[in-house]
Amino acid sequence: MLVVVRRPRTEFSLNGDVPRKLIQSLVSEYGPDNVKIEEDDMMNVEDMEWYKEEAAKDTPGRTLRFYRKLKGMTQPELAAVLGTTKQFISNLENDRKPISRMMTKKLSEIFNVPASRFI
C-alpha cells in the first residue's frame, strides 16, 4: 500500500503495511482531498515475461556497447584506451569475438563496474 499526503509546503509518502488508524489520522489532519491511497498490486519486474525475454537477449557485447555509450565514448576512443582497433571493439560488441578474462578486467576498470558484467 502507498499513502501519499500532498498539501502546500507538505508532501510525504508511506510505503508498506500502513495501519488503518494512521491513515484515518492523516485523513482527519490533512483532509480526504490531500491523502491518496494506492493498494499494492505490483509484481517483481524479474518475474515478468517481457523482462525475462529482454534479459535473455543480454549478451556481453550488448553490455559493452551500453557502458561505452553511457560513458560517451566512440569505438575508436575505447580502442585507443585499450590499445586495440575499432574493428576489434566492433567484433566484441557484436558478439563475433568473446571478451577475454583479461579484457573484462580492463573494461571493469575503465567503466568502474564489476568484471562479471562482461561475462
The per-residue pLDDT for range 38-61, each reduced to its tens digit, is 776 667 778 888 888 888 888 999
pLDDT at residue 1 greater than cutoff 70: no
The residues spanned by each domain of the chain are: 2-41, 58-118
Residues 6+ apart with CB under 8 A from 81: 73, 110
CATH fold for the domain made of 58-118: 434 Repressor (Amino-terminal Domain) (1.10.260)
CB-count exposure of residue 23 (10 Å: 0-12, 13-18, 19+): middle
pLDDT at residue 64 greater than cutoff 80: yes
